[in-house]
Structure 1
């Protein structure tokens, strides 16, 4: 498949122009023009690049790519090593950040809801497909400690639970990754709990004082399902060999 045709399809599917993002979406490092093998993963780390090289991938498709705002513009150190590895093996690097978080079917929020069997009832900051903070209901009411165990069973990682809400959780909001500072938006919506990936010192006090539970379920753990679903979608749509690699990350 021609790279430009694939990129055009991804842009049409994920609609990156709808988002003001922190990094470029789409092609970030140019490799070969023909694509037959795609490796997917959460972050374009050296370990994932090495996996792509070993497998003979033509394109590495990730959620966390390169060239983030406010990072140094010079290409030195680990950034230089990563880019050199990609260029030496003619591997394209393609990344989609917020567009993959928000996509209504394949995105991180949608796939986390599917994993946790949450009933989606819209987004708090925009319509579904654009909004980054989703809301819904649990498959059944749960005690807070039971929901903590439920998250661990579903995601394979024990979350950090900051209590503050009612004894029984029924309604939730969620935003995958490093979205702990959306907790006020969740509190304004009156949900019982908010789920994201990471946590800050201030999150403890906000949860307690605003009356909701907060669950830091892991940045990687909450965001591995979207990129996997996107790769599976491409494999279904086109004659491409796609492999998802889930490199362990406790954060």
Structure 2
């Protein structure tokens, strides 16, 4: 498959044109024209690129790529090394950010819901779904369940939350800024990847359970699902590689 055809295929699947994002979605660094072997991962880190070189991949597809808005436009240090690896090995780099958060089938949010057994009921706003657990559970039990499913202990604040959690809102990655809207909507708990200092005060003062389950851990699902979709719908050789990250 041509690198431009792969870009078009995924753009159409993820409806990328409908998003105003923090960075470019699609082909970010051009490599060889023909793509057959692909490495995928959450972030285009040096470790992931080194694996792509080792596996002689033609392309790397990630959720967190390069060239973010307000990023310094200087190619030096870490950024230079990453781009040098791609260009020297003629590897294409693709990134899809918000389209891979929001997609109703492959997106990070829906994939996290499936992993945690949450039935999606609707959206409070764009990128902020809500749903229900199959049965009410204590807040500590939900924390243990999240740890079991993601392989990472979440930061949990629930001292003023209800005795049982049934209604849940969530946003993968750095979605802690949604907590107030989730609280106003009336959920019992809010799950995201990251936490800020003010997040805990919001949870305590508005009486809900809060879980910071890891930016990386909550966003493995989307790129893994996209990898599986490509394997099922094309003849491409796709390998998902999880580069551990405790954040």
So what's the TM-score if we normalise by structure 2? 0.98
- Tell me the SS of whatever aligns to 1:135: strand
Instruction: Determine if the alignment matches structure 1 residue 120 to structure 2 residue 120.
Output: yes
Structure-1 separation of matches of 2:41 and 2:239? 9
Partner of 2:136: 141
- For residues 133-157 of structure 1, the C-alpha deviation after alignment (integer angstroms, 9 at most, x for no partner) is 1100012210001111010001100
- Tell me the SS of whatever aligns to 2:219: helix
1:208 corresponds, among 198, 204, 208, to 204
Partner of 1:228: 224
Structure-2 separation of matches of 1:223 and 1:215? 15
1:150 corresponds, among 129, 132, 145, to 145
Report matched runs for 1:1-251 at 5 Å: 1-125=1-125, 131-163=126-158, 164-251=160-247
- For residues 77-111 of structure 1, the C-alpha deviation after alignment (integer angstroms, 9 at most, x for no partner) is 10011001000111000000000000000000011
Q: State the shift of 1:35 in Å.
A: 0.6
- Tell me the SS of whatever aligns to 2:168: strand
Structure-2 separation of matches of 1:204 and 1:173? 16
Gaps of 5+ in 1: 126-130
Structure-1 separation of matches of 2:239 and 2:55? 9
- Tell me the SS of whatever aligns to 2:60: strand
Structure 1 stretches of 4+ with a deviation exceeding 4 A read none
So what's the TM-score if we normalise by structure 1? 0.97
Structure-1 separation of matches of 2:156 and 2:226? 30
- For residues 185-243 of structure 1, the C-alpha deviation after alignment (integer angstroms, 9 at most, x for no partner) is 10111000000000000001000111111100000000001101101101111101100
Gaps of 5+ in 2: none
